[in-house]
Amino acid sequence: MNRPDPDVQAVIDLATAGFPPLATEMTDITEVRAFFAARPGPAVPPPPVARVTDEDADGVPVRVYDPGVHETAPVIVFCHGGGFVLCDLDSHDGFCRSLALATEAVVVSVDYRRAPEHPFPAAPEDAYTALLWAAATYPGRRIAVAGDSAGANLATVLTLLSRDRGGPEVTCQALYYPMLDPTRSRPSHRENAQGYFLTADHLRWYWDGYLQAPAHRTSPYAAPLAGADLSGLPPAQVVTAGFDPLRDDGLAYAEALTAAGVPVTSHHHAGMFHGFLSMAGALPAANEARETAFAALREALARD
C-alpha cells in the first residue's frame, strides 16, 4: 500500500492534531465553531494586496481583493471550503490574497450561509447572488468561478446556475479537490477513509448537515455527479490529490465534463492530501502545485 512521503505525512499529522474530532466525539456545531475560534491566527502575516474591502453583494457578505494591476482585470468569484459547515472569509484570507496576486485578478470571496443552520440550497443561492453582483459591479470583465472542497462544489454549481438561468457568462471554473458526491461510494472514500486529515466521518457529518432533505441528494445543484447535464459549461481546471477521500469525485467529474464536450485540464498530485494547496508554506511540492494551478487560471482568464 502506498503511503505519503515522510515530510508530507508530518504535515498531515500536524493538521490532524489541530483539528477537532468531528462527527465522533464532537458533533455540536456551536462547540465546533468555538474550537476554531479559539485557535491562534497564522504565524506569518498574509501577503499584502493593494485593496481589500468587505462589501455587501445584495445581501451576501463578500470580501474583495483587488491587486491593483489594471482597471479591467478579470474577476474570480471564490467559494471557500469547509464541508458547507465550517470556515469563512478569514480562514481563506491568505489563500485569496495569493490567488489575487498570482492571477492578477480581482477576487470576490463569498461568505455564504452555512449548514446546518442554513442547509441546501442556501449556499448556492448566496453564491449565485454574489456572482450576479460581481458581474454588475465589474461589467464587461471576464469572470471565473473557483473554490476548494465544498467551495469547489459551489463553484461548479455556479456554472450550472449561470447556464440554466441565462447568465452571467462564466469564462472558466477552477475546482480544487471538489466535494461532489454525497453517496461517498467511489474507491477513494474507502482507501483514504482515515489517516490523511479529511476522514470519512467528517464527510458524512458535512453532507448530513448540508443535505437535510433526502430529495436534495440527487439535485444537480447539490450533487453534480448525480447525472446532471454538464453540456455547455465553461472549461474546467480540476486539481486532485492521491491521498484524498475526494480524489475520485474530482477524477470522475473531470471525466464526466470531458464526455459532455467540456474542455478540462486535470492536475493530479498523487503524493498529496486534501487541503494541500492551503499548506504551501509547509511543503515545497504543495507550493509548486499551487503556483501551477494559479498560473493555469491566470492563463485561462487572459485567453482570447
Residues 88, 53: Cα–Cα separation, whole Å:
15
Residues contacting 210, CB < 8 A, separation 6+: 83, 84, 85, 115, 116, 119, 120, 123, 150, 222
Residues 162, 190: Cα–Cα separation, whole Å:
34
Residue 245: what residue type? P
Strands (E), the chain: 51-57, 60-66, 75-79, 106-110, 143-148, 172-176, 236-241, 264-269
Residue 205: what residue type? W
Whether 149 is a known active-site residue: answer yes
Q: Name the catalytic one among 109, 149, 188, 278.
A: 149
Local structure of residue 183 (DSSP, 8 states): T
What's the per-residue H, E or C state across 80-130? Answer: CCCCCCCCCCCCCHHHHHHHHHHHCCEEEEECCCCCCCCCCCHHHHHHHHH
Residues recognised as catalytic: 149
